[in-house]
Chains A and B, each alone.
Chain A
């Protein structure tokens, strides 16, 4: 520990810290421009100049590069310092007269007009080198650097040409204090197209996530991208999140783990997949930023969302008219034939929020209102009273007319086609079975209904059980349903699973195969046929034996036994042959 004095204040600091770090920690303000907490200090902008009164290098020094030492005495706002900063800010303002950040900093030191001649009033770059250091030290791409000297000095890729060294990570645009760098890349455009999603490569999936920890999107993270791109040659790029995390919780080594667990029951709750409305091109989803799907609108209206719950169009205006189109991708022979069961009610909820927050004209274009749950019909009436306009007729098309959105629909109440100019369109999408539901179904031996959702054992009597004993279904993996129904369904599945566990023993079907040892010739044909490895060979007695706890009773071995001696209990050869005789003994109907 070393003791130093800043502005007469005695402070303790650790060896290796800089004056700037100690001052900032103690609440002493020193202006900076080229300094960035995760980048190595450079001292190039000189704004953090302070006066060292006592120390190894007395005089005007940059605080960001000066390491603390015992007995150091510093003044951050002495007349000499202020005078020096005025010159620096004057030079900066003369270079970039129209950058708000520089204007504000200069104004604090009483400079409102550029004191020196300006070369280019549009200039935004202050040559602080943050971007260069980020590209070299953090991203380790080295795509940009300073070129030329003196007045010609500027930042860019080699020869100011497009370079393949750039990975398009955008780190330079983030660290640039004046917004001088713009990134124009296909990938950036893709990220920009999802303004309601995560905006960084490390994020908490959603505010109520349990556990509430951030995750790293390895496709977007600079460290992982550099590692993948160079096949491990550059494995230590960026790491800014690890640098700022005081708990040291960021772990880049973490891998997906596959755990083997012995369990007594399985609840399949794999949920639904959000349909992408772009596959119905008539709704212009993805072509106009103000055509949202319901999940995006939900995010927009969320207090923790990007606009803090304000409902705004993509250009930041409060919409004057919003159209909600029901049944997008549902009850449609070109998409899902089934009703989503949820979109009527969430459309009404969102219309209620939109009306309350914006006072806009809110239109609901519906086929039928299916307000079937407890209190739902009452809510429908309430939303109508609030002035939401319900138009019975499917929204047919969303088109752009001179940059404005127009919804074409039919009002079946008056039998006329409608044209609604609106500022925002919300497509009320439903639920799709997950795209890999077939693989999950195969894994657990569950069958699927025609709509692709997992099939229950019986629609009325066993609505969350499956044909496989001990495997239960919960929620929307079985069929579209809303939150109360999902909670009830899941609780039922959980209690059924617990019932199985607390009983501690399993009732197995009596339909198993049985090999009478005295008749078995020990040919072992059946051994390899059993998919459950329930048949083993008793070396001592030279006969095959069925383990009844493993046998599922399919009867494949029974049909295959060359001696015909394996008995399929409850489906014996005799029973089936008698059935054939009985059926054919009577004249066919």
Chain B
């Protein structure tokens, strides 16, 4: 019997207005997408505190997807610009912590782009599957508490 395929666990933080709606439409339209992504709805991708990403990795996620409205189309005008800055910096930090930065992906998917959502979901799942499970114990963060305090202060404007 062949070895069982690795099924990655992925947390998706989706903005309520664009990507969450896209994922909803993709589901209603019965588009083929893997079941590996568990979705947490936030009002804006700007709500995604880098702590959430680290928390997800610590709790056992192999990948984290943050997705929001296209730049310029943010329901809250500019929340996604903040996300872009935060996630860019966080990816750099992840590398220093010993986590492959590819495990964190940022995507802009508008509510009209259900096929893009399905595509990204398939692609990202395969990408994480190829990376294999995250070895949290091997990172410098192992053993540190995360939920209680912020490890990634806001970079000044």
Show the binding face of A for B, using Cβ within 8 Å: 441-442, 445, 447-450, 455, 467-468, 511, 525, 528-529, 531-532, 552-556, 558-562, 564, 568, 571, 573, 576-577, 579-581, 583-585, 588-589
Contacts and interface: CB of A to CB of B under 8 A. Distances in A.
Contacts of A555: 42-44, 46-47, 79
B14 interface: no
Interface string B10-50: 01000001100000000000000001101010111011111
B115 to A, nearest CB: 9
Contacts of B17: 447, 467
B149 interface: yes
A468 B13 CA distance: 22
Given A445-B75, A447-B18, A555-B46, 13 more contacts: A447-B17, A531-B76, A556-B44, A556-B46, A556-B76, A568-B47, A579-B40, A580-B52, A583-B11, A583-B40, A584-B60, A588-B38, A589-B35
A470 to B, nearest CB: 14
Contacts of A445: 75
Given A584-B11, A584-B61, A553 B43 contact: yes
Interface in B53-72: 55-56, 59-61, 72
Q: Is the interface of B mostly helix, strand, loop or mixed?
A: loop
Contacts of B77: 531-532
Contacts of A571: 42-43, 47
Nearest to A562: B153
A579 B61 CA distance: 13
Contacts of A559: 46-50, 82, 86, 154
A528, A579, A580, A585: most-surrounded residue (chain B CB, <10 A): A580
B59 A585 contact: yes
Given A555-B47, A581-B59, A576 B40 contact: yes
Contacts of B56: 580, 584
B9 A588 contact: yes
B154 A562 contact: yes
A579 B56 CA distance: 10
B82 A529 contact: yes
B60 A531 contact: no
Nearest to B153: A562
Nearest to A552: B76
Contacts of A553: 43
Contact of A556 (B51, B79, B149): B79
